Structure 1
């Protein structure tokens, strides 16, 4: 549902006030994007998770205890956890590429494939609005 003209003016006014009050925060919020983890990172995470499952099961089957503590099973669980975190999180890499892409207002070819047309249009409108001021 689109905003009314009054609501749009109020939103623009709030955005201008935010830039005037705290430009560093505003630029941080504007530049922040959620990234998907790379394919390599996801594969590494899945492999680590599977190794963790194997270690967990082996620890239960062979019941290797150190001081009454199932150390192999715990290590397996930790490997599973680390693999899951690795597979679902993205690193902050490629900051230089993102900054270069924002400077000229053109998106990279790889970025175009990942973004939907709607998202691209909305980002472009948002960028144009603040470049005019």
Structure 2
């Protein structure tokens, strides 16, 4: 459920206040460390997936079902970790956005990609409804 305009404005004000009050802490929360963590987690997930494939194939070739099941479960866990890590990555929401160009508070003034998309959809819906009524 998207935030209302009032809630979005309040959130942006809180973000700006955080940047003004403690820019070092706000920058630490921005996600540079999170991106590294996400990349590392995704790397481990891919490695786990590959090991799972190897175990699955080994279990099939040697006809040891337990090894195949463990390989499949490892593949599944690796795939889930990789996909959820990729979806949650901090840079993923900002991939399509240009910036505001302001120093210090630029990120706080940008709306997330999903919020922009939802506002465009809502605008189109209102225009269609107005055209049908008028």
TM-score w.r.t. structure 2 length? 0.42
Q: Name the structure where helix makes up a greater proportion of residues.
A: 2
Answer 1 or 2: higher relative contact order, Cα 8 Å, separation at least 6. Answer: 2
Q: What is the TM-score with the length of structure 1 in the denominator?
A: 0.42
